[in-house]
Amino acid sequence: KVGDPSGKDESRKLLTSEIINKNMEGIKKCFSNYLEFGSKKSDAIMVDNADWLDRLSYIDFLREYGQHFTINKMIKFDSVQLRLEREQPLSFLEFNYMVLQAFDFLELARRYKCNMQMGGSDQWGNIINGIELGRKTDGLNLLGLTSPLLTSSSGAKMGKTASGAIWLDQERTPAYEFWQYWRNTDDQDVCKFLKLFTEVNLDEISKFEKIRGSELNEAKIMLATEVTSLCHGKEIALASEKVARDTFSDSKFSSDLPTTNLPREDLTDGVPAFELLNKTELVKSKAEARRLIKGGGFRINDKIIENELEAISDAAENQDGFIKLSVGKKRHLLIKLI
């Protein structure tokens, strides 16, 4: 009901109780794949902070807990500084978010003996507030554990609101698209992600660290299948891999999709996405290519290309030596590197 301003340039939309309840059901369903929810001591539980927040008396809350927070310190947090530096409005509602999250941690400790809060590094300030509140009010020794936000080699955060977002929920990201997302990982990120998200032996991963281009395809397939196995199960992961191999197989495409040849050296150093598209019969001009990309209508290997200047190299070819270009949902072309 109160949006977290962390990492945001503008206010988050306030959600109704109905949407919040629906989101909670979806979250629990998703995490049931990884956690056992139940009443046993070792089982996970999911609680709603409305259980204690909805009962708060505003004046009593300010008197009892407001004294433990100073404006001097609160305005130094990144989530606040970002808005102030950019002269973006920060509502009093959002300014109170860090106080409410701190109170949540305190209540979780009181009610459920929860003494550690985990989150992304952007939540460090909010977690610290909760730790300090617990110490000041109840003498609790609470802990916080944060992990770096996941970024690509370009430094871009892989946020859930980006158009290239990846979701654990199969209704948001079907298993095949999930597999394909990791298959299309940038060369520079492959070994990093193998170390983060798989249990592949480090010695095996090290073999890929000096490889670039199409030689990395084996590692990318391994990454995609391992991560999909972790999130959706081995059977679904192998099925997704098979679909991908069938989709990109030479025998299947020879009759189904048009193919054009392109010298490998043309892509060795990478070319802007709009120029690659313009080399094909899918568009009639560079201007049309630029418009398509800006409108989100161009995909390479089923991945939406958002930047017309994104460099496309021979690393984009699949294990059979193809690069699949798609305009809209019905127009496709295979590039065969020769």
Question: Where among 247, 263, 292 does a domain terminate?
Answer: 247
Token digits for 20?
Answer: 């919040």
Do both 97 and 217 map to the same domain? no
Residue 52's CATH number: 3.40.50.620
Q: How confident is the model at residue 255 (pLDDT cuts 50, 70, 90)?
A: very low
Residue 100 lies in a domain: yes
Of residues 205 and 94, more confidently modeled? 205
Do both 242 and 289 map to the same domain? no
Do both 21 and 142 map to the same domain? yes
Query: What is the total count of domains within the chain?
Result: 3
Digit-coded pLDDT (tens) for 276-291: 999 988 898 999 999 9
Q: Which residues contact 332 (CB under 8 A, 6 or more apart)?
A: 257, 258, 324, 325, 326
The Cα–Cα gap between 127 and 21 comes to 24
Q: How confident is the model at residue 163 (pLDDT cuts 50, 70, 90)?
A: very low
Tell me which residue of 67, 95, 99, 65 sits closest to 81, measured CA to CA.
95
| Identity of the residue numbered 156 | A
Three-class SS string for the chain? CCCCCCCCCCCCCCCCHHHHHHHHHHHHHHHCCCCCECCCCCCECCCCCHHHHCCCCHHHHHHHHHHHCCHHHHCCCHHHHHHHHCCCCCCHHHHCHHHHHHHHHHHHHHHHCCCEEEEEHHHHHHHHHHHHHHHHHHCCCCEEEEECCCECCCCCECCCCCCCCCCCCCCCCCHHHHHHHHHCCCHHHHHHHHHHHCCCCHHHHHCCCCCCHHHHHHHHHHHHHHHHHHHHCHHHHHHHHHHHHHHCCHHHHHHHCCEEEECHHHCCCCEEHHHHHHCCCCCCCHHHHHHHHHCCCEEECCEECCCCCCEECHHHCCCCCEEEEEECCCEEEEEEEC
Residue 7 lies in a domain: no
Q: What is the pTM of this model?
A: 0.68
Do both 240 and 271 map to the same domain? no
Q: What was the pLDDT predicted at 302? A: 81
Residue 135 lies in a domain: yes
Digit-coded pLDDT (tens) for 301-323: 888 898 999 999 988 887 767 89
Do both 25 and 141 map to the same domain? yes
The CA-based angle 319-322-328, given to 5 degrees, is 125
Do both 21 and 128 map to the same domain? yes
Residue 167 lies in a domain: no
Tell me which residue of 239, 257, 269 sits closest to 336, measured CA to CA.
257
Q: Which residues contact 112 (CB under 8 A, 6 or more apart)?
A: 45, 47
CB 264 within 8 A of CB 321: no
User: pLDDT over 70 for what percent of the chain?
Assistant: 88
Do both 69 and 127 map to the same domain? yes
Residue 267's CATH number: 3.10.290.10
Do both 237 and 263 map to the same domain? no
Q: Is the pLDDT of residue 189 over 70?
A: yes
Range of the domain at 331: 253-337
Question: Where among 199, 228, 247 does a domain terminate?
Answer: 247
Do both 37 and 72 map to the same domain? yes
Q: Each residue of 14-44: b (16+ CB within 10 Å) or e?
A: eeeeeeeeeeeeeeeebeeeeeeeeeeeeee
Q: Is the pLDDT of residue 8 over 70?
A: no
